[in-house]
Amino acid sequence: MTKKTALHEIHVQLGAKMMPFAGYEMPIRYTGDKDEHFLVRKDVGLFDVSHMGEFIFKGNDALPFLQSITTNDVSKLVVGKAQYSSLPNLKGGLVDDIIVYHLDNAYMMVVNAANIEKDWNWIQERKKDSHFSDLEIIDISEDTSLIAVSGPKSTELVSRLTNAPVNQMKYYEVIRCKLLNFDNILIATTGYTGEWTFEIFCKNNEVVTIWNALMEKGADLGVKPAGLGARDTLRLEMGYMLYGNDINDETSPIEAGLSWITKLQKGKFSSSEIFQNQKDNGVTKKLVAFEMVEKAIPRHDYLIIDAQGNEIGKVTSGTISPCLDKGIGMGYVKPEFSHLGSEIFIYIRNKPAKALVVSTPFVKNTSVQQKK
């Protein structure tokens, strides 16, 4: 049975196109993907991302346990900071990519919506196999709603609902504060659009009031809701990965260009020996970003070929960039084709379309980049 978020009725009233996504009926678009894309790039948009999963880790063994199951170095996280990381499996692939937050009395892990049950089972297996006893793990996903307030005007909007110093928050931080009349609201700055974003974690019975207040208080700022369609083009313009497309159980963080969150010096963790070997000896494929030279739209699973027509990889994500008005994408290729400026071809409708390997983000000078 498809689940519904606590904001479902509001989306329906607003005329959103609702579709199943990760076990939930979610708003894909309201007026149009392109409109909502530019809304977030220029003003401020609201995303219902309550389908995401949240796990709480408590106890003296929470830190060492997290160190043993994630790739990044959780010991570097002071209270109030967040960290992009991943959950590796035991075969060198990724169970999920995640964000870990250090709260005042615990750690919180946010996981992808489609992977909540899978991640939870994986973590429970690791706990069972470990020697950590002073450890409590709680799945609060069903009781938690999440709104992402994203865009250059997001600070102005959120500051109208709270006295907390949200205008002083830096990238990848989290605070606990009072918002409207609700205590214990978590606000984080870990967005997925490339624009400055506040993610508001609250209880299901609080979210409708908060959503309505954001819409009302932000009317003069041009605030509107945005759907998952625009969220996908926004993240792709930044070169952010989508689990299930660009990374999965078969891809390693080294292949995916995630060496920067794979801290092998911290000590042993799941698949750390495999990743060390890949760092030392190289990999057989690498994730690259590319821009189309010809007018064409790359799509997931299209073949990538070389100038002689030999298959060298596959597209994992692709679209027309609304901001650049050209085809952009990501995909895995043989390492010799992974260098910046490499010429590759995307096989589209039985013919090759030329593309060049480029760096990310595709779109420069967003509000996140200006704040970093």
The CATH 3.30.70.1400 domain(s) of the chain lie at: 54-141
Can you give the pLDDT at residue 371? 85
pTM of the model: 0.97
Query: Coil, helix or strand for 247?
Result: strand
Share of the chain above pLDDT 90, in %: 99
**In sequence order, what are the residues at sequence separation of 6 or more whose Cβ sits closer than 8 angstroms to the Cβ of residue 161?**
179, 180, 210, 213, 214, 217
Tokens of 142: 């069903």
Q: What is the C-alpha separation between 192 and 281, in angstroms, rounded?
A: 32
Q: What is the C-alpha separation between 129 and 267, in angstroms, rounded?
A: 18
Diameter over CA atoms, the chain: 65
Give one DSSP letter per residue of 226-245, joined into a string. --HHHHHHHHHHTT---BTT
Q: What is the C-alpha separation between 191 and 14, in angstroms, rounded?
A: 24
What amino acid is encoded at 276 in this protein? Q
C-beta separation of 172 from 81 below 8 A: yes
Peptide bond into 361 cis (omega under 30): yes
The per-residue pLDDT for range 274-310, each reduced to its tens digit, is 999 999 999 999 999 999 999 999 999 999 999 999 9
Burial of 106 (0-12, 13-18, 19+ CB in 10 A): middle
SS (H, E, C) 278-319: HHHHCCCCEEEEEEECCCCCCCCCCEEECCCCCEEEEEEEEE
Q: Report how far apart, in Å, the C-alpha atoms of 319 and of each of 116, 293, 322 are.
A: 27, 14, 9
The CATH 2.40.30.110 domain(s) of the chain lie at: 259-358
* CATH class label, 54-141: alpha beta
Can you give the pLDDT at residue 372? 75
The CATH 3.30.1360.120 domain(s) of the chain lie at: 8-49+142-237
Long-range contacts of 155-162 (CB under 8 A, 24+ apart): 155/196, 155/198, 156/44, 156/221, 157/44, 157/214, 157/217, 157/218, 157/221, 157/223, 158/187, 158/198, 158/200, 158/214, 160/217, 160/218, 161/210, 161/213, 161/214, 161/217, 162/187
The per-residue pLDDT for range 28-37, each reduced to its tens digit, is 999 999 999 9
287: β partners: 332
Q: What is the C-alpha separation between 135 and 125, in angstroms, rounded?
A: 14
Q: Which helix (H) or strand (E) holds 367?
A: helix 367-371
Q: Which of 65, 137, 59, 69 is nearest to 105 (CA)?
A: 59
Q: Which of 71, 131, 130, 61 is nearest to 95 (CA)?
A: 71
> Which CATH number among 3.40.1160.10, 3.30.70.890, 3.40.50.10420, 3.30.1360.120 corresponds to the domain 8-49+142-237?
3.30.1360.120
Angle 263-264-268 from CA coordinates, rounded to 5°: 115
Task: Please list the ranges in the chain whose pLDDT falls under 70.
Answer: none
* CATH class label, 259-358: mainly beta
C-beta separation of 299 from 318 below 8 A: yes
C-beta separation of 351 from 302 below 8 A: no
Q: Which of 42, 33, 35 is nearest to 150 (CA)?
A: 42
- Cβ count within 10 A of residue 209: 14
